[in-house]
Amino acid sequence: MKRSFLRLRVMVLSAVLSFFTIAAFPQPARNLAQILGYPADSKLLIIHADDMGLSHSVNSACIKAFESKGITCGSIMEPCPWALEINMYLKDHPEIDAGVHLTLTSEWHSYKWGGVSPSDRIPSLLDSAGYFYPDVAAVGKMAKADEAERELRAQIDRAIAMGVNPTHIDTHMGSVLANAELVKIYLHLSDQYKLPVLFPRSYLGYLPADVARELGSKIFLLDNLFMLEPAMIKGRWIDPYKKAIEAMKPGLNEIIVHLGMDNDEMKAICSGFDAYGSSWRQNDLDMVTGNEFRDLLKANNIILIGWKQVKEAMNR
């Protein structure tokens, strides 16, 4: 089951901590808001849709959200069966902010995928049936670093070959944070492709001192990341998001949403899963395209940006 980054911080990165020393790290002389021309104390927010390419339902929902300006960016799961559809759409709409959702897991019971690379080049990433493992723990235990880098690089290269100009890279289920070597690969790909990565500033203490010092000066580090978890759902769907937005601090913030149409396709894919399932995705779609969410952002003086602006500022 998909897990939030907040939970992964405890469950996954705690294992990484034993390999690293906690570091003191610098922050940029000018923050991202100032570089983008906003006051230093601005509350910048990226509204990000995960899992583009997962299904036709997800693609349709993300396109609707982009067209209604309910989200500011999304990222593509290149190994998934419906990646071709969203890649073609993005090629024809280069103004849309889209990154690569680096994928090493395949969590659903009866809807699976393997890698972009030939299976004989990445055997440590695949189970006995030839699919990615269903959970992050298995990735951390089984993945060989060279094979993981080969596959992650292939996913970025696939998007570029399809005509997409990626604005960033992030990670499905936090899988590239599963062990120390994968984290190093993640950051190396950021440098090589000159792409910002989704990485909360609070995670710097899990990195080696020299890496943390270098990364700490990057303008793309998130000051706050929010993703809805099942335990947060107690009243109206929008309530946890409302709480997060009202508590938002100045800096670079991101809200991750999971969009989809609650239809037969999505129900079949998510069969047996309530969290991040079919109705969940419809609820997120209805929320980000609704007036109450827009009014909430406006009332709290939120400035919406995308990863494309961060990439441009990073490489300026």
* 8 Å CB contact between 194 and 72: no
The angle formed by the CA atoms of residues 108, 113 and 119, to the nearest 5 degrees, is 140
pLDDT of residue 209: 84
* 8 Å CB contact between 176 and 186: yes
The tens digit of pLDDT for each residue in 15-73 reads: 443 333 333 455 556 789 999 999 999 999 999 999 999 999 999 999 999 999 999 99
Percent of the chain topping pLDDT 70: 91
Bigger pLDDT: 227 or 214?
227
Domain range spanning residue 161? Answer: 5-314
pLDDT band at 83 (very low <50, low <70, confident <90, very high): very high
Residue with tokens 């997060």: 244
pLDDT reading at 212 higher than 90? no
Beta bridge partners of 120: none
**Separation in Å, CA 105 to CA 15, 20, 151, 268:** 19, 25, 12, 19
The tens digit of pLDDT for each residue in 217-252 reads: 889 999 999 999 999 999 999 999 999 999 999 999
pLDDT of residue 26: 52
Domain count, the chain: 1
pLDDT reading at 13 higher than 50? no
pLDDT band at 265 (very low <50, low <70, confident <90, very high): very high
CATH number for 244: 3.20.20.370
